[in-house]
Amino acid sequence: MRSISYRMLIGVVILIVLLLVIIILVTASLLMSTGNPPEGELSGIYGIVSSLESVLAGIITTLAAWIDYIASQIQKLAGIV
């Protein structure tokens, strides 16, 4: 019974990742299709690279914050602090 729930969890994670990839591809195609972007925005490949770079930076920052939080909780539980 537990293997079914693990399979479902893996399937849901894969589905979420695929949806994020589709959203990124749609966003990239919209960036490439704009011929005259608003001031301050980049079009084409530069816009894709810039947007992907900011998304990855946000993901890395969030992961670092979670790792820091988990490490502090482990320290509290271990009685180190």
CA atoms within 13 A on the CB side of 66: 6
pLDDT for position 71: 86
**What is the residue-level pLDDT of the chain in tens, covering all 81 positions?**
555 677 788 888 888 988 888 888 777 766 666 555 555 555 666 666 777 778 888 888 888 889 888 888 888 888 765
pLDDT for position 62: 87
d(CA 59, CA 25): 18
pLDDT for position 80: 66
Structure tokens at 81: 């602090």
pLDDT for position 45: 62
Amino acid at 23: I
- Assessment of whether the complete model's pTM goes beyond 0.75: no
First to last CA, the chain: 40
Asked whether 26 and 38 are in contact (CB, 8 A), the reply is: no
